[in-house]
């Protein structure tokens, strides 16, 4: 589930202790907002092997569930980025999974996702504006900007399937589509990073709280209110430093104030 994106901004990285290879390092680099492009050639991305992360079952839609509504698939690839591949797959209820490949990992990490009604409304309205399944428009700009990252989006509905690929576009709705999925990626890669930090390196959580606060301020999270239950858990987690817990509580109040 798409507009060109630049280099990921490194926010934090948990260092793996020598001899303990079973712990993954914490990282916080996600695709930033779409910038003005600069042309440069980049080799086509290589396909990535997908495997589930131990302890997380990947939701698999049943044949009946697939028949009842559309399914969405977004893939972002850019060799050389810390996250070189991000895949978001979900159904019309927003349930599915996200897979992301970190440069130092042999296999991708797979986590479940549950998109909010607000996010699904944004996606549906954008696809309606594009008249997506009935359109044959090519969104790709005449010039190639694959060095900024490539996007592939597929929608399947009522027996029809359409896939588009682009890395830069002047179509405002196609740009909005890739931007929305970038915001989704921001949320779920951050969730992964801070969840790993709270278990292994709690002292890194204040910096991660600061990073999500900046994301929200820059409108780089699809639906900030969707984070409130998770932030509430973090604000009461005594494994985290008081600074991190207080920051989580403050972010919750800011989100609730905007909602009013």
Residue range 74-114, pLDDT digits in tens: 999 988 787 889 999 999 999 999 999 877 778 889 999 99
d(CA 134, CA 151): 20
What is the distance between the alpha carbons of residues 82 and 31, in angstroms, rounded to a whole number? 10
Say yes or no to pLDDT of 167 above 60. Answer: yes
Closest alpha carbon to 151 in 9, 34, 10:
34
Residue 135 has pLDDT above 70, yes or no: yes
121 CB neighbour count, 10 Å cutoff: 11
Q: Which residues pair with 13 in a beta bridge?
A: 27
What's residue 23's pLDDT?
A: 41
pTM over 0.75: no
Check residue 43 and give its pLDDT. 45
pLDDT at 38 over 70: no
Q: Do 200 and 238 touch, CB atoms closer than 8 A?
A: no
Count of alpha carbons within 13 angstroms of residue 146, beta-carbon side: 10
- Look up the CATH architecture of domain 1-10+36-171: 2-Layer Sandwich (3.30)
* Residue in the block written with tokens 């008081």: 242
pLDDT tens across 178-222, in order? Answer: 999 999 999 999 999 999 899 999 999 999 999 999 999 999 999
Is pLDDT at 31 greater than 90 in this prediction? no
Least trusted range by pLDDT, from 14-28, 55-69, 136-150, 225-239: 14-28
Tell me which of 102 and 238 has the higher pLDDT: 238
| Cβ 222 vs Cβ 190: under 8 Å | no
User: Residue 57 above 70 pLDDT?
Assistant: no
pLDDT of residue 106: 80
Chain centroid offset of residue 87 CA? 8
Domain residue ranges in the chain: 1-10+36-171
Q: What's the confidence (pLDDT) of residue 42?
A: 43
More confident residue, 13 or 60: 60
Using 50, 70 and 90 to split pLDDT, how confident is the model at 68?
Answer: low
In terms of average pLDDT, the best of 1-10, 24-33, 149-158 is 149-158
């Amino acid at each position: 589930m798409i507009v060109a994106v630049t280099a990921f901004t490194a926010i934090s990285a948990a260092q793996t202790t020598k001899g303990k290879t079973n712990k993954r390092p914490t990282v916080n680099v996600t695709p930033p907002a779409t910038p003005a492009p600069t042309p440069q050639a980049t080799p086509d991305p290589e396909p990535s092997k997908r495997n589930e992360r131990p302890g997380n079952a990947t939701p698999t839609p049943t044949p009946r569930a697939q028949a009842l509504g559309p399914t969405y698939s977004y893939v972002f690839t850019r060799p050389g980025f810390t996250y070189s591949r991000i895949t978001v797959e979900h159904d019309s209820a927003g349930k599915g999974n996200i897979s992301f490949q970190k440069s130092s990992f042999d296999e991708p990490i797979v986590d479940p996702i549950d998109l909010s009604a607000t996010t699904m409304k944004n996606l549906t309205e954008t696809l309606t504006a594009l008249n997506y399944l009935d359109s044959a428009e090519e969104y790709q700009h005449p010039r190639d900007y694959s060095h900024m990252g490539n996007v592939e989006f597929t929608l399947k509905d009522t027996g029809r399937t359409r896939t588009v690929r682009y890395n830069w576009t002047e179509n405002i709705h196609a740009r909005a589509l890739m931007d929305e999925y970038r915001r989704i990626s921001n949320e779920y890669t951050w969730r992964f990073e801070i969840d790993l930090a709270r278990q292994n390196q709690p002292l890194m959580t204040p910096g991660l709280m600061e990073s999500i606060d900046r994301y929200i301020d820059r409108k780089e999270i699809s639906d900030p209110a969707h984070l409130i239950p998770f932030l509430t858990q973090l604000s009461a987690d005594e494994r985290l430093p008081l600074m991190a817990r207080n920051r989580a509580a403050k972010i919750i109040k800011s989100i609730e104030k905007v909602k009013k």
